[in-house]
Amino acid sequence: MSTASGLSAEDIESRIRQFIINFEKVDKNKYTPQADFHKDLGLDSLAQVEIATAVEEEFSIEIPDATAENFRTSSEIVNYILTRPDAL
């Protein structure tokens, strides 16, 4: 599956992975696309906001706050971006 701009799920996940594993708290060995940001990776709500902001900047999209607050895994973000034909 890919976006209108040609981004594949694998491309999106790879880009998201890079900034999530760069969080100081994140154990790179625990990261998977299905890892829960809070339970598995130990990230707090501030980190979740930072992730949403990074996604917006990385893919040149705007994510409504109510949507961003519900992201719990990288897979959820990937699926959201795949619905956005304007994602770069």
For the stretch 14-48, pLDDT in tens is 999 998 998 888 888 999 999 999 999 999 989 98
CATH of domain 9-82: 1.10.1200.10
Residues 79 and 21: beta-carbon distance below 8 Å: no
- Helices and strands, number each (H, E), in the chain: 4, 0
**pTM of the prediction?**
0.88
Catalytic option among 11, 27, 36, 44: 44
Q: Active-site residue 44, yes or no?
A: yes
Dist CA 47 CA 87 (whole Å): 22
